[in-house]
A = this chain, B = another copy of it.
């Protein structure tokens, strides 16, 4: 049943070595030979055994993507960008979920995986988080997405600046009591979250320190969490007149909370989100738009590059620009 390269070689009248070289389009092979071998292979719809190929020292032809979530919009969209590039390059994608702060922290089998893949795509995870169990030490090609780390290639946005500009937009509109809906209390495991908080705080303290008050809510980056957080903010003695949400999904929840209180986003309380979620337009949410799929695609390209270029280039840190899209959810205070 199993047809091997030996069979192909015999039928094409060459040695297995030549067959192997021909199938991989190596340079030192007669074009005529390549054509002959390929023809035989096609006729039998033969494909090399990746296992044997890998064992004999070749590449695995696949990369792993580590992500804390699959179904949340941002991550799913990054993955779609990644997938598209990899499919183009005939490289397989191994999906591994790790780093969800809410989930039981199971150390992902990076060690085992490192045998199975040529490189790693690490999405949003702090590379030194314990759960990544020494991913950094592994000298396999890797690219970080949405995070940075000295000496490791990455593609990310300027979270601090984006958050600062978004918040400043609220300040410029005249808001003084500005709330923040972040992910989780305490030190976030996500670098981006910490950066966004810094950006927010900078903007709020500006132009005159103390001129604005700020309040925090925590929405765990989910819609429901955003709703809960907004409710908490509204329950305070002096609720904020504007709220910056660290993700669109939390902003959606906040919108719902407002509606259930008989309030309208933009009219009663201004809202700014972050991400550029598919539905942000439909809900008229002012938000920081980032080209998420493109980020994933870029990272995938860089990883492929790094894999093929064995030459140890110096790691690049790509920064993708974002833009604030103002919609009707943010307006001057009443």
Whole-angstrom distance between the Cβ of A188 and the nearest chain B Cβ: 22
Whole-angstrom distance between the Cβ of A181 and the nearest chain B Cβ: 15
Q: Is A161 an interface residue (CB 8 A)?
A: no
Give CA–CA (A77, B72) in the complex, Å. 8
Residue among A69, A90, A112 facing the most chain B CB atoms (10 A cut-off): A112
Q: Is A223 an interface residue (CB 8 A)?
A: yes
Whole-angstrom distance between the Cβ of A21 and the nearest chain B Cβ: 19
Kindly identify which residue among B80, B92, B116 contacts A69, using a CB–CB cutoff of 8 Å: B80
Residues facing B in A33-78 (CB within 8 A) are 45, 47, 49-52, 54-55, 60, 62, 69-73, 76-77
Number of interface residues of A (CB under 8 A): 47
B62 lies within 8 A of A55 (CB):
no
Give A75-105 as 1s and 0s: 1 = Cβ < 8 Å from B's Cβ atoms. Answer: 0110110011001001011111100000000
Kindly identify which residue among B71, B97, B282 contacts A73, using a CB–CB cutoff of 8 Å: B71
- Which of chain B's residues have a CB closer than 8 A to the CB of A93? 94-96
Q: Is A109 an interface residue (CB 8 A)?
A: yes
- Which of chain B's residues have a CB closer than 8 A to the CB of A249? 278
A70 lies within 8 A of B62 (CB):
no
How many identical chains are in the complex? 2
- A55-B51, A252-B282, A256-B282 are contacts. A71–B62 as well, Cβ < 8 Å? no
A112 lies within 8 A of B70 (CB):
no
- A71-B76, A76-B76, A95-B93 are contacts. A47–B111 as well, Cβ < 8 Å? yes
Kindly identify which residue among B69, B115, B253 contacts A47, using a CB–CB cutoff of 8 Å: B115
A106 lies within 8 A of B87 (CB):
yes
Q: Is A279 an interface residue (CB 8 A)?
A: yes
Give CA–CA (A228, B97) in the complex, Å. 36
Give CA–CA (A83, B69) in the complex, Å. 10
A49 lies within 8 A of B115 (CB):
yes
Whole-angstrom distance between the Cβ of A7 and the nearest chain B Cβ: 15
Kindly identify which residue among B50, B109, B112, B282 contacts A116, using a CB–CB cutoff of 8 Å: B50
B112 lies within 8 A of A50 (CB):
yes
Q: Is A293 an interface residue (CB 8 A)?
A: yes
Q: Is A135 an interface residue (CB 8 A)?
A: no
Whole-angstrom distance between the Cβ of A168 and the nearest chain B Cβ: 28
Q: Is A255 an interface residue (CB 8 A)?
A: yes
